[in-house]
Chains A and B, each alone.
Chain A
Amino acid sequence: AQSVTQLDSQVPVFEEAPVELRCNYSSSVSVYLFWYVQYPNQGLQLLLKYLSGSTLVESINGFEAEFNKSQTSFHLRKPSVHISDTAEYFCAVSRDTGRRALTFGSGTRLQVQP
């Protein structure tokens, strides 16, 4: 079985400041890693994913995450946040075989302040 730990339940940050949302996972098999974003009263949207290859993955809106196998981490970063980035962010993991159901972390609320 897999598990995901998001240590920070809330991260307040000022606009244009950098941010890092932490994610650690546990698994005995190879996995895929994902970050999803959920805006208020909306469903989840895929932000970025790691399947294989380059350990640094980027999204179209400036977020990036780096897969670190030795530390079993997949932290999400953005060098300069906007008010519109305020949302709930979920890290998730799935096996790379089989039904590939997602296991989610508990989520991190990013609150960007002016």
Chain B
Amino acid sequence: GAVVSQHPSRVICKSGTSVKIECRSLDFQATTMFWYRQFPKQSLMLMATSNEGSKATYEQGVEKDKFLINHASLTLSTLTVTSAHPEDSSFYICSARGRRTYEQYFGPGTRLTVT
């Protein structure tokens, strides 16, 4: 099956710094990638959708200047949390979908802790 990787798996950063999370589709071309956020013992909340080569579409309430998403190639999307604060601590999960398919393949997630 299709494989999606995320890097890093865990990151701890100081308040005010920026953190970049990578999401890669390893064996297929991902025309669309999704970024989710999951709080402890809660469901996944869609943050944004990105299509290769175009600007990301953010969900209502998600600050686009704080959560920068870049989908520069068909196998790579990045999420940068700028000027991170403790309330940004969460589990960030990406998923990827290929052309003309319905199924999303999920990455293993990145646990971000802001101290």
A residues contacting B by CB (< 8 A) are: 32, 36, 42-46, 49, 51, 90, 94, 96, 99-107
Residues on the A chain within 8 Å of B13, using CB: none
A-B contact count (CB 8 A): 47
CB neighbours of A101 from chain B (8 A):
34, 46, 49
Complex contacts, B34 vs chain A, CB 8 Å: 101-102
Binding site for A on B (CB under 8 A): 4, 6, 32, 34, 41-46, 49, 57, 93, 95, 97, 102-104, 106-109
Which residues of chain B are within 8 angstroms of A107 by Cβ–Cβ distance? 41-43
| Distance between Cα atoms of A105 and B109 in the complex (Å) | 18
Residue of B4, B49, B102, B108 near A51 (CB, 8 A) is B102
Q: Which residues of A contact B95 (CB under 8 A)?
A: 44, 102
